[in-house]
A = this chain, B = another copy of it.
Amino acid sequence: MADLLHFEDFAEGQVYDLGTHRIEAEEIIAYAREFDPQPQHLDAEAAKSSLLGGLAASGWQLCALAMRMIVDGLLHRADSQGSPGVDEVQWRRPVLAGDALHLTGKVLGVRASSKSDRGFVKFRFEMHRAGQMVMMFESAIIIGRRSS
């Protein structure tokens, strides 16, 4: 457990590079079939005439992919204990099959909990494609204190 990141290791202004994921058409369709079966996420032909302009990922899939990148890139080596929620999610641009999605997480602030064994680390996660932001969300994650 000594190797894990704890609440004390986080500070405002830190930026974590959480890697890149290339999203494929089959992934978009598989997610949509299970969780968001709307034509613009399921069918490339129907999607061409939608506002999104082509087969586009469900916004919730972008959140899910981001979460996977957050776990793989950060939380697997932190004493993560969950989250009370998300302050805001912005789906800014359509994400299409073949897009390479890069995720960063910036620490906006840290706050002790009323429980002495943990604290809240507030993050802003941004997903970019070719330098343009396609999605962001801000969320506090509960992280255990080292001293506990």
Binding site for B on A (CB under 8 A): 34-38, 40, 50-52, 58-60, 63-65, 67-68, 71-72, 75-76, 80-92, 137, 142
Q: A50-B81, A84-B91 are in contact. List 12 more A-B contacts (CB 8 A).
A: A36-B68, A38-B71, A40-B82, A51-B81, A58-B67, A60-B67, A84-B90, A85-B88, A85-B90, A86-B89, A88-B88, A89-B89
Whole-angstrom distance between the alpha carbons of A95 and B58 in the complex? Answer: 23
Can you report 18 A-B residue pairs in the complex whose CB atoms are below 8 A from each other? A34-B64, A35-B68, A36-B64, A36-B67, A36-B68, A36-B71, A37-B71, A38-B71, A38-B75, A50-B82, A51-B142, A52-B82, A84-B90, A84-B92, A85-B90, A85-B92, A86-B88, A86-B89
The copy count of this chain in the complex is 2
> Which residues of the partner chain B approach A71 to less than 8 Å between Cβ atoms?
36-38
Whole-angstrom distance between the alpha carbons of A71 and B39 in the complex? Answer: 11
